[in-house]
Structure 1
Amino acid sequence: MAQKPSIPKGTRDFNPEDVAKRNYIFNTIKRQFEVFGFQPIETPSFENSSTLMGKYGDEGDRLIFKILNSGDYLNKVSDDLYQTKSSSKITTKISEKALRYDLTVPFARYVVQHQNEIDFPFKRYQIQPVWRADRPQKGRYREFYQCDADVVGSDSLWQEVEFVQLYDAVFTALGLKGVTIKINNRKILSGIAEVIGAQDKLIDFTVALDKLDKIGEEKVKAEMLDKGIPQSGIDKLQPLFSLKGDFGAQISELKTILNTSEEGKKGIEELEFINQGIETLELNTAQLQLDVTLARGLNYYTGAIFEVSAPKGVKMGSIGGGGRYDNLTEIFGKPNTSGIGISFGLDRIYLVLEELGLFPKTISESTKVLFLNFGNAEAMASMKAIKQLRAQGIRAELFPDNKKTIKQFNYANKREIPFVVLLGESEMNSNTYTLKNMKTGNQESLSFDDMLKSLQ
């Protein structure tokens, strides 16, 4: 007995309805990207291992899918190396390429490789799949799409203002009202670490602070102590734990906390500029919120940090994120090139739209009218009419086989095709078409022009 086929864990098949809904999200995001002046690029699904490895930290390197060299890939492995059974050492000999882990590092490689052909500042968008050898869970897969937009070659804070507007425009266009665009600044976090005497423990400090809403103030303090942050420094953080109010009120409190840190003051200035710009321009449906615990991507973000949360009541992680980076292209030999980018979490956005019932019903419609098949002569006459309908943009098709009429009607019902045309011998003799509305059951005999008007 043949083994039942399956797909790898963390991957998915998509039925026609799934694809239609995903394309709706893709097209909505793409339309807004282009309205905001971003240009599309694409990069290969796999890169040289040297391009990817070492760019995401040890954890990221572990999650990169490596591709075995073609041919006798073990030929370059010496007996001594093979006997070590060290996968990390052997991998460098048998794998020179890997599936891309994200779109950001390949984009940095693209910018450096094509820098003489690019007009800076360069605004690019990219919508392509990426792969991660992660543990699959809800909203997290091993193969998934990223939808990124970046600007490189400009350190202007107007770009941050634009990206907040872009998030708002996309989610408004998707009908997803009430999303929260959280913002922080790496300089704020560095300033706080400086004030409490933990400059050398920035990552430990921010990892603990990031858990504030999950584990509470006391456990965060305990974790900081455990990481070697002094009690005197933690005491200085006390106002941070109760930071509330609108953007302006929180900024005012931060000015007090960071009054001795030049780095922190710079971060405050940047946040104030962005907030003032957004207040003047106004957002449609989203809300900009300062969140000093936001600490994603500290390995490469140098300024603003973004994270987008779904509307209240929807249990879902972030549905978007990004930030300012000043040294991403430096890893490929192009220093002093500032950039900023954001990403949309397609799969999570899909789940949120599904949960809230926000997908338009029309997006899953396929064929609008099905011509029944009563034999070769009738089928040919039907195909001539179908050709004319398609020329007018009407989605039409012929049932391919001359089967019982009830089976053809059942097929139309199962596919939710709204109209059926009966073109039999009597209709051919009278040059008419019997058009049946599958929802109401009504049918009428029409000329081709009248049938076209009804279908339009």
Structure 2
Amino acid sequence: MASKPSIPKGTRDFSPAEVAKRQYIIQIIKSNFEKFGFQPIETPSFENSDTLMGKYGEEGDRLIFKILNSGNFFYNKSKIELPDSLTELQTNSAENIAIEQRVELNKFTNRISEKALRYDLTVPFARYVVQHQNEIEFPFKRYQIQPVWRADNPQKGRFREFFQCDADVVGSKSLWQEVELVQLYDSVFTALGLQGATVKINNRKILSGIAEVIGASDKLIDFTVALDKLDKIGEDGVKKEMIEKGISEEAIVKVQPLFNFTGTTSEKIEKLSVLLSSSEEGMKGVEELRFICDNVLNLGLSTANLDLDVTLARGLNYYTGAIFEVAAPKTVAMGSIGGGGRYDDLTGIFGLKNMSGVGISFGLDRIYLVIEELGLFPEAVTSTSKALFVNYGEKEAFYSMKAIKELRAVGIKVELYPDNAKVGKQFQHADKRFIPYAVIVGEEEMNNNQYSLKNLVSGEQKKVSFDELKIILK
């Protein structure tokens, strides 16, 4: 007996209704990207392995999907055997593999796999900029909406294949770009009807400044990781973790204001300028934040909120300036639905130095869940055809098709039931497809150049002319 068909773990099928909803979100994001002057690019779904490897840290490298060399690769090469030092790998767990064996394994992997599925859109974008630098007009504003793949452990909300929606500007250090990116978030969420999203902002230089002021520059990551847990484990829990990580009690006293960091954005900036007055790096961060926040607030936001959050510490290994993270409206329990930041050397990994950039991304899957939960998808998004023409036979079908052709020409979604089946079956088909109207054409309708239009929700039926039919269905 044939085995039941299935799909790989961490991937999904999408129904017509789900695809329609996803396309609705993507279309709104895309139209706003273009309204703000971003241009679309696309990169291949797979890259050369050496483009991706070593760019995401050790953890990231493990999550990259390798592609086996294809076609007659194995036929053209002499028999490939595992190096002697790898034969015991079959009985060894990953933790027990010696470093030399890992090196051997990597060499072997490189011989049979030269390509890998892209892990994100940022590294391929950096590769694109370096490769096409002579054709690109800088500053370059690009957006990209494509799937990415991660060999992750699948769980609720975490998939092995998912879409990323990124917008980046490279080739400019101007902070007006950050101001515009906050406005872009606001514009997209307003268009989606998602009111009350919070764009949290911080600055890498602020975090470095705080660590410098308390004499713990070497513990920057430990400090920020602990501070980031403030809303989860509270002030005492954070202080305890900091002490365990070797940050002195004296240093913790100096940052006491951070544990009660409230007030308006302007008040928070003033508190930071006092706290960081002795740090040149920290004060640069304060001035950058002041510029971005003042201009965003003076220009105004439609439905989003801007919040200066000093505990925000994402992407510390590559962000150099502003850091963004977007929280869904408080009525929904959901992680971040977007994020990004400023990086001063994105293209340096491929040899093009001093190319500053700033970018943001939208979390498509999470935004979908939030909009679904809040009931914000317009009905029209998932509606199928507006009317089903009932098929009574060849003559009637031809008469119907002439009307269908004209209705489609003005953008009305209609269709003919393809078979001359029992009328009850045809009405049942319309019901299951949630089609609101049936159009009935018999001898009488054809003789009088009319159509019988039945509302499948109310059951009401009436005879109409073609022009009336067009107005009702429009």
The TM-score, its normalising length taken from structure 2, stands at 0.93
1:279 aligns with 2:283: no
1:163 aligns with 2:181: yes
- 1:252-331 aligned within 5 A: 252-331=270-349
**CA deviation digits over 1:402-435, x for unaligned, max 9?**
1110110111111111111111233223322111
Shift of 1:221: 1.8
1:67 aligns with 2:67: yes
Shift of 1:177: 0.5
**CA deviation digits over 1:46-69, x for unaligned, max 9?**
111111111111111111111111
SS of 1:90's equivalent?
helix
Distance (whole Å) between structure 2 residues aligned to residue 304 and residue 371 of structure 1: 57
Equivalent position amino acid for 1:128 in 2: Q
Partner of 1:449: 467
Shift of 1:78: 5.2
Equivalent position amino acid for 2:50 in 1: S
SS of 1:147's equivalent?
strand
Partner of 1:372: 390
1:228 aligns with 2:228: no
**Structure 1 stretch displaced more, 80-89 or 171-180:** 80-89
Equivalent position amino acid for 1:144 in 2: F
Partner of 1:6: 6
Partner of 2:27: 27
Partner of 2:437: 419
Equivalent position amino acid for 2:83 in 1: D
1:79 aligns with 2:83: yes
Distance (whole Å) between structure 1 residues aligned to residue 156 and residue 286 of structure 2: 36
SS of 1:216's equivalent?
helix
Shift of 1:160: 0.6
Shift of 1:2: 2.0
On the 8 A contact 1:374/1:402 being kept in 2, the answer is yes
Distance (whole Å) between structure 2 residues aligned to residue 357 and residue 13 of structure 1: 22
**CA deviation digits over 1:168-187, x for unaligned, max 9?**
11101110011111000000
Change (3 A) 1:137 1:83: closer
Distance (whole Å) between structure 2 residues aligned to residue 148 and residue 394 of structure 1: 33
**CA deviation digits over 1:330-362, x for unaligned, max 9?**
001110010000000000000000111111111
Shift of 1:392: 1.7
**CA deviation digits over 1:366-396, x for unaligned, max 9?**
2111111112222222222211211121111
On the 8 A contact 1:369/1:417 being kept in 2, the answer is yes
On the 8 A contact 1:184/1:305 being kept in 2, the answer is yes
SS of 2:251's equivalent?
helix
Partner of 2:262: 244
On the 8 A contact 1:47/1:98 being kept in 2, the answer is yes
On the 8 A contact 1:267/1:303 being kept in 2, the answer is yes
SS of 1:319's equivalent?
strand
1:109 aligns with 2:113: no
Distance (whole Å) between structure 1 residues aligned to residue 196 and residue 125 of structure 2: 31
- 1:142-161 aligned within 5 A: 142-161=160-179
Equivalent position amino acid for 1:327 in 2: D
Equivalent position amino acid for 2:257 in 1: P
SS of 1:17's equivalent?
helix
Distance (whole Å) between structure 2 residues aligned to residue 72 and residue 186 of structure 1: 47
SS of 2:326's equivalent?
strand
SS of 1:323's equivalent?
strand
Shift of 1:77: 5.0
Distance (whole Å) between structure 2 residues aligned to residue 412 and residue 127 of structure 1: 34
Change (3 A) 1:414 1:78: closer
On the 8 A contact 1:150/1:342 being kept in 2, the answer is yes
On the 8 A contact 1:160/1:304 being kept in 2, the answer is yes
Partner of 2:44: 44
Equivalent position amino acid for 1:349 in 2: I
The TM-score, its normalising length taken from structure 1, stands at 0.97
**Structure 1 stretch displaced more, 428-437 or 188-197:** 428-437
Shift of 1:76: 5.0
SS of 1:124's equivalent?
strand
Distance (whole Å) between structure 2 residues aligned to residue 447 and residue 187 of structure 1: 70
Shift of 1:232: 2.1
Equivalent position amino acid for 2:407 in 1: L
**CA deviation digits over 1:114-146, x for unaligned, max 9?**
000000000001111111122223332111111
Q: Could you list the runs of 5+ residues in structure 1 that have no partner in the other structure? A: none
**Structure 1 stretch displaced more, 62-71 or 291-300:** 62-71
**CA deviation digits over 1:303-343, x for unaligned, max 9?**
00000000112110000000000011000111001000000
**Structure 1 stretch displaced more, 75-84 or 359-368:** 75-84
Equivalent position amino acid for 1:292 in 2: V
Distance (whole Å) between structure 2 residues aligned to residue 217 and residue 395 of structure 1: 58
How many residues are matched?
456
Equivalent position amino acid for 2:164 in 1: Q
Distance (whole Å) between structure 2 residues aligned to residue 161 and residue 401 of structure 1: 58
On the 8 A contact 1:77/1:93 being kept in 2, the answer is no
- 1:92-131 aligned within 5 A: 92-131=110-149
Shift of 1:281: 0.2
**Structure 1 stretch displaced more, 195-204 or 408-417:** 195-204
Change (3 A) 1:371 1:146: same
Distance (whole Å) between structure 1 residues aligned to residue 216 and residue 326 of structure 2: 28
Distance (whole Å) between structure 1 residues aligned to residue 273 and residue 332 of structure 2: 34
Equivalent position amino acid for 2:239 in 1: K
**CA deviation digits over 1:248-301, x for unaligned, max 9?**
111111122111110000000000001110121011111110111100001110
Q: Could you list the runs of 5+ residues in structure 2 that have no partner in the other structure? A: 90-101
On the 8 A contact 2:9/2:154 being kept in 1, the answer is yes
Match of 2:455 among 437, 441, 446: 437
On the 8 A contact 2:82/2:108 being kept in 1, the answer is no
Equivalent position amino acid for 2:45 in 1: S
Distance (whole Å) between structure 1 residues aligned to residue 135 and residue 222 of structure 2: 41
On the 8 A contact 1:129/1:143 being kept in 2, the answer is yes
Shift of 1:228: 2.1
On the 8 A contact 2:146/2:165 being kept in 1, the answer is yes
On the 8 A contact 1:81/1:90 being kept in 2, the answer is no
Distance (whole Å) between structure 1 residues aligned to residue 136 and residue 80 of structure 2: 39
**Structure 1 stretch displaced more, 22-31 or 132-141:** 132-141
Distance (whole Å) between structure 1 residues aligned to residue 8 and residue 157 of structure 2: 16
